[in-house]
A and B are shown apart, each in its own frame.
Chain A
């Protein structure tokens, strides 16, 4: 795509890897990037970045655990779902692997489906930045689409159906969390997201600490905490603990450990009792109830 200030510039490799493109309804476009497919589609639409939200779904495993030589466990954890104002797009650099599903949603279309604080949603300065794990309903319908053949005559209908369904679920989630009030600068957003990504990479360690994170973002501690909470609706520590427990769940079920204490240690919890309590609070079950023992 030509670089023009008013156009939505998708990262070069997405535009190149685009395997399927469809305008579903006025104001809603769907883009599929599929590397298993030797097929590129010219993007026929150019849109004004200011007018759109991008919703991005990466279907590869969100938490990938593998054992490297010796006892060391290696893992990759990431958020598979990102929704962001297209004008803030450079805040995220999605890892383009295998298969991803994109919705470009015109702002007026999305606003039609947002309720609650009407004044807030009508205000041009408010925006949405949203990153999360893909919820299971959405994942299920994306996986279903992924299994279909692009050449089937019914494929176009399936894309339309899936896109509306995914948008429907997204609308429900955004309504739960609400928009971000007030204008965000692209630079600040980028920095905050950078610290979020950093935390995702350090889940096996203890919480890095607000000082370090604020420093990373080049902000004062109070500004950092305030901004993080405004964007993600929870504190940096709250986010970190939640993601740690998500990883704990995967590790417990992985069959790579002999005891639950080993898992707790791996995650930097010295007190197994505390770990069990946190886990139960988050998932409603004790670690012992889901633990799969290593057989080797």
Chain B
């Protein structure tokens, strides 16, 4: 297993260092790594004085453990991850896997970087935005969120900017459309810049639409919650195990577990469990192999109409409509 020390930032002084730590070098905007580490595209572009983007479209040929080092703290990372399969693992301090990366969108404070492992054979595709907190704060203020709230969110004593989620379907479509472009082609930087602004606009719209929970989190607590969540996902065909059982497994009081869970994931455990089921239902529907009744049974819903109802309230369209639009 290869260990790579990393740090990020809006200023791109880290790129050379990161390339070197991979055993590779920088050519223009590209980072080239030795072929036995990863092959593919690793591209960094500073969009303006407040935003830098890192695009990774690569296949890993050995396990690589990324360990953070101290970086600037004036920015947050917004990570869009379209990696196929669950190949990114969050590690604890002794490099023990505590959970898989089950989200494809994360907003993470620069102060809160975790160790993570990318498994050999993984095909990674990710768009990472590094955005100055000042500008994020400015945009958030414009959303009509009260200044008081915004200031509280950005109070470093009290909070760590942290949010995990499923990316919106519009973000997913933006990235998917962008993937058709060839890195290094004449219009590539313009279209990458366009993608960055469009993704930021989309994030902002989503933040406006619902509450996003941001708060201070201890690393050990994050580990516990991620472990708990991994267990929930393993169990996604069954019925909800109940807060009491989950809290006991995480060694926390029910209140602490519930609050922390919501703080980190933005959802209650129950809502997460249900949403995850519904996301799965959608994926299974898309395969065309199940009707709604079969799905309801497979995923532990009480009836087909119960599934339809929940599906509609989550995706704003009924499973039937969804299947028809495929």
**Which residues of A does B touch, CB under 8 Å?**
25, 113-115, 152-155, 157-158, 160-165, 167-169, 171-172, 175
Given A25-B48, A168-B194, 8 extra CB contacts under 8 A:
A157-B197, A157-B201, A157-B204, A161-B198, A161-B200, A164-B190, A164-B197, A165-B191
Contact of B201 among A114, A161, A164, A172 (CB under 8 A): A161
B187 touches A153 (CB 8 A): no
**Which residues of B does A touch, CB under 8 Å?**
48, 139, 142-144, 186-187, 190-191, 193-202, 204-205, 208
Cα distance A189–B196 in the bound complex, in angstroms: 38
A161 touches B195 (CB 8 A): yes
Contact of B190 among A155, A157, A167 (CB under 8 A): A167
A160 CB to closest chain B CB, in angstroms? 4
Report A-chain residues with C-beta under 8 Å of the C-beta of B202: 154
Contact of A113 among B186, B198, B205 (CB under 8 A): B186
Given known A164-B193, A167-B190, A168-B190, contact A153–B208 (CB-CB < 8 A): yes
A162 touches B143 (CB 8 A): no
> What 6 pairs across the A-B complex have the smallest Cβ distances?
A161-B197, A153-B142, A161-B198, A165-B194, A168-B190, A157-B201
A172 touches B198 (CB 8 A): no
A139 CB to closest chain B CB, in angstroms? 14
A245 CB to closest chain B CB, in angstroms? 27
B186 touches A158 (CB 8 A): no
B190 touches A165 (CB 8 A): yes
Cα distance A149–B197 in the bound complex, in angstroms: 16
Report A-chain residues with C-beta under 8 Å of the C-beta of B198: 157-158, 161-162, 165
Cα distance A165–B143 in the bound complex, in angstroms: 24
Cα distance A163–B139 in the bound complex, in angstroms: 19
A230 CB to closest chain B CB, in angstroms? 23
Report B-chain residues with C-beta under 8 Å of the C-beta of A172: 186-187
B296 CB to closest chain A CB, in angstroms? 35
What are 14 pairs between A and B in contact, CB < 8 Å? A153-B143, A154-B201, A154-B208, A157-B139, A157-B204, A160-B194, A161-B198, A161-B201, A162-B198, A165-B190, A168-B187, A168-B190, A171-B187, A171-B190
B271 CB to closest chain A CB, in angstroms? 25
Report B-chain residues with C-beta under 8 Å of the C-beta of A165: 190-191, 194, 198
A30 CB to closest chain B CB, in angstroms? 12
A115 touches B186 (CB 8 A): yes
A158 touches B144 (CB 8 A): no
Cα distance A170–B135 in the bound complex, in angstroms: 29
Residue with the highest number of chain B CB atoms closer than 10 Å, among A153, A169, A172: A153
Cα distance A242–B267 in the bound complex, in angstroms: 56
Cα distance A162–B198 in the bound complex, in angstroms: 7
Cα distance A160–B195 in the bound complex, in angstroms: 10
Report B-chain residues with C-beta under 8 Å of the C-beta of A175: 186
Report A-chain residues with C-beta under 8 Å of the C-beta of B191: 164-165, 168
Residue with the highest number of chain B CB atoms closer than 10 Å, among A113, A162, A163, A165: A165
B91 CB to closest chain A CB, in angstroms? 34
Cα distance A49–B204 in the bound complex, in angstroms: 36
Report B-chain residues with C-beta under 8 Å of the C-beta of A114: 186
B205 touches A152 (CB 8 A): yes
Residue with the highest number of chain A CB atoms closer than 10 Å, among B143, B187, B195: B187
Given known A153-B142, A153-B143, A153-B144, contact A160–B197 (CB-CB < 8 A): yes
Report B-chain residues with C-beta under 8 Å of the C-beta of A115: 186
Nearest residue in A to B185 (C-beta to C-beta)?
A172
Report A-chain residues with C-beta under 8 Å of the C-beta of B204: 153-154, 157
Cα distance A175–B205 in the bound complex, in angstroms: 35
A162 touches B194 (CB 8 A): yes
B187 touches A161 (CB 8 A): no
Nearest residue in B to A172 (C-beta to C-beta)?
B187
Cα distance A207–B139 in the bound complex, in angstroms: 56
